[in-house]
Structure 1
């Protein structure tokens, strides 16, 4: 990536914004932009931009451990990451030579959804409303903010929250279908055979929409989507405290579970790691007063928008270190909500 004398950017190569190296990230953070037609004009008078460095150094970062390592944003979104397989150094799921798998049990999480109720109500919706109000204000101007310029015309990927909330995206259905197709090739001898009429074969699911839809897509994938070949059924299990030992949604039968547990502790880290980000965004001159919750919403939208639209302009505006901080935010939250720290709460 290079700069012309007029301060404009010219891209030396196309960047995969979901897989960027440390050097490429550094280049993105130190670019300068001034449209030719407005060079030297006053921003305050006509809304155009000066040629200024929008990214002054604010932290010292270490280089990658291995020169071949490439940071993949979509692998650091915690529960919001689309499905991916971890690096197992070539380990095979096949049994040892001379052995045969006679039984297999998989506990599978639901596939990618539009958004969950908690994230939407507490994080996404407040930011989307603030952004909507700002778009109608003459005071806020994103058009010259470089990495944030897309916010001037960006629209939410969630267009009908009542209809879409907690439901699978198209890519989510494909995830579940593809995963079960792999299982069908891996364990063909375990699938029921039509000639034996093995109708006892079942896929169990909790009653949430996202889980039922995932189970149906998974069930279809086992048979390549061929309806007449499908044997068995999807069994939906009711959720609730009265169910006792609920193995599909165990938190429903745990009286000590709380959705808000860990929010206070994670909030301390959220303020710490978002302060430099807010300062960087403020230096862009948008006059939008970003909050810590706004930053969290933007990072969550990277994941949600990607599985809805296929990509998101929110993903490349944060550094790898900021994505790791986002990931650690949820580590803290879940440690106090579902992890060992919860055991110490009376």
Structure 2
């Protein structure tokens, strides 16, 4: 699964403006030199700055780029991490570090989702962008099994319980040195780089006469992710250009950027079908690795769970320290198995295979649905986790910006994808092995002067008349995830089948008008229903009472919670 970044754009004619974000404060709002420091420590305001003339226009690459990134191009992001490892079975020189699911450093989707990538046709205009962005690379959760495993191995070595040999010999001097929860340096770089990229794509949309509102959560890695992105987009003085609203991320608080916080059943055994399926798969794909490593464990009873935790330490140590000795303990095929285990977890815990998948994501869906129609969200009480205090006023939920920035968690973003009903990412995943051509993972809304033909002309000599059919101005929505176009007709049959993957905005809004009911929020989050076996839930909601007898007869299958969380 490719790390996700969700982007929403709404179209219409916009005025381009030049960014000039200089100010006399730091990101925290304070001057950098105190009254007791010598003047030569002062960095703001700048005393001898020299010429400071900014450019005459801001970039707008999303509007002007004649050569969008496609299948024939290659992109190698700047990475300070060691990736040149001799991995057994890697015959095509492919990177195992793109097989770590949500733990991978960000990279663009290398194969796409089945749509052609095109520049904007002549006469089309982008006016507004709605960005939903995940946090950057970070340390593991403090209570996760990988943290417990690290401490256990360190204690076993210190007690002399095991004498590690062969490829595990490094453990005789190894210590668990990871922190917990917060961003690592690579994560800070990812968000800063993303802000820079976003500036090049949409900088011209920023209106220098305004100060925009952006939203994140109070969790440290979420707040810092938003701040580093802003610094990349606006510069270090971003607080002159934007106000960041951190919404409380705690249990029982309503927050659409972490929708599971007020969804009880998303935090108990009912929504651990992904973990249960992953455990089944781990016992299959890690059987050989467990035998190899057990023989090197010096009497310690090395288990499949140990093998999986050892694999999970690789991406966490890799982004924290730049290199991890855990990484080359496994074959390329075993790393492919690891990626599929994370697909299973996301699908069953947070996506179409989870009974709370739609419910957790529906709040953000309703916020965007309202915003694209130009009004504040107005939903019945108890049907979403929208924070009604925060969306009751345009001071905290603005409707007239050209740029909207929201920052969320990877699991929450996948639930949002589910709540949008993007069924092409809901392919059933079996716990005994990956199906062929599985897909697990930005929206643009664009105005055109006439209806755009479903098949784009490819001739370099094509004129505007070759792009458009007769008719009036039309607005389209264009979804892009991890910098690649998602064909909307594959999820929404009401959309025209187009080679660019776009769909008319009016059609999509009509589809979205029914998503709130489909999410079954109260029943999904608070209802009493049995836990289904892996693979029995396929639409992100609990199996309905009507279907229980038909699907299971009198023998309902119950699954208890897995005690192992690795996300």
User: TM-score, length-normalised on structure 1?
Assistant: 0.70
Q: Is contact 1:112-1:172 (8 Å) kept?
A: yes
Q: Does 1:166 align with 2:184?
A: no
Query: Following superposition of structure 1 onto structure 2, how do residues 266-281 of structure 1 map, counting pairs within 5 Å?
Result: 266-281=278-293
Task: Give the 3-state SS of the residue equivalent to 1:165 in structure 2.
Answer: coil
Q: Is contact 2:168-2:297 (8 Å) kept?
A: no
Q: Which residue does the alignment assign to 1:81? A: 104
Task: Give the 3-state SS of the residue equivalent to 2:267 in structure 1.
Answer: coil
CA distance in structure 1 between the partners assigned to 2:127 and 2:344 by the alignment: 39
Corresponding pairs, count: 273
CA distance in structure 2 between the partners assigned to 1:323 and 1:250 by the alignment: 30
CA distance in structure 1 between the partners assigned to 2:117 and 2:235 by the alignment: 23
Superimposed CA distance per residue, residues 23-54 of structure 1 (whole angstroms, 9 cap, x where no aligned partner): x624xxxxxxxxxxxxxxxxxxxxxxxxxxxx
Deviation at 1:314, TM superposition (A): 1.0
Q: Which residue does the alignment assign to 1:238? A: 248
Q: Which residue does the alignment assign to 1:185? A: 200
Q: Is contact 2:215-2:247 (8 Å) kept?
A: yes
Q: 1:103 aligns with which of 125, 128, 144?
A: 128
1:93–1:77 Cα change, 3 Å = farther
Superimposed CA distance per residue, residues 205-237 of structure 1 (whole angstroms, 9 cap, x where no aligned partner): 022111111001111111232x27841111111
Q: Does 1:253 align with 2:292?
A: no
CA distance in structure 1 between the partners assigned to 2:317 and 2:328 by the alignment: 13
Superimposed CA distance per residue, residues 116-171 of structure 1 (whole angstroms, 9 cap, x where no aligned partner): 24xxx2412331232122212445222x41x222212122231xxxxx42111111
Q: Does 1:135 align with 2:157?
A: yes
Superimposed CA distance per residue, residues 66-108 of structure 1 (whole angstroms, 9 cap, x where no aligned partner): xxx4321111111211111111579768533443321111110
Q: Is contact 2:138-2:183 (8 Å) kept?
A: yes
CA distance in structure 1 between the partners assigned to 2:136 and 2:85 by the alignment: 26
The structure richer in helix per residue is: 1
Query: Following superposition of structure 1 onto structure 2, how do residues 192-211 of structure 1 map, counting pairs within 5 Å?
Result: 192-193=207-208, 196=209, 198-199=210-211, 201-211=212-222
Q: Is contact 1:176-1:214 (8 Å) kept?
A: yes
Q: Does 1:123 align with 2:145?
A: yes
Q: Is contact 2:100-2:339 (8 Å) kept?
A: yes
1:93–1:73 Cα change, 3 Å = farther
Query: Following superposition of structure 1 onto structure 2, how do residues 35-114 of structure 1 map, counting pairs within 5 Å?
Result: 69-87=92-110, 95-114=120-139
CA distance in structure 1 between the partners assigned to 2:310 and 2:118 by the alignment: 37
1:179–1:285 Cα change, 3 Å = closer
1:235–1:139 Cα change, 3 Å = closer
CA distance in structure 2 between the partners assigned to 1:243 and 1:140 by the alignment: 46
Q: Does 1:334 align with 2:346?
A: yes
CA distance in structure 2 between the partners assigned to 1:248 and 1:305 by the alignment: 27
Q: Is contact 2:154-2:176 (8 Å) kept?
A: no
- Root mean square deviation, CA, Å: 2.8
Deviation at 1:286, TM superposition (A): 3.0
Unaligned runs of 5+ in 2: 1-80, 356-536, 544-567
Q: Which residue does the alignment assign to 1:299? A: 311
Q: Is contact 2:154-2:174 (8 Å) kept?
A: no
User: TM-score, length-normalised on structure 2?
Assistant: 0.44
Q: Which residue does the alignment assign to 1:157? A: 177
Asked which structure has the greater RCO (Cα within 8 Å, sep 6+), the reply is: 2
CA distance in structure 2 between the partners assigned to 1:136 and 1:242 by the alignment: 41
Q: Is contact 1:278-1:291 (8 Å) kept?
A: yes
Task: Give the 3-state SS of the residue equivalent to 1:311 in structure 2.
Answer: coil
CA distance in structure 2 between the partners assigned to 1:248 and 1:334 by the alignment: 17
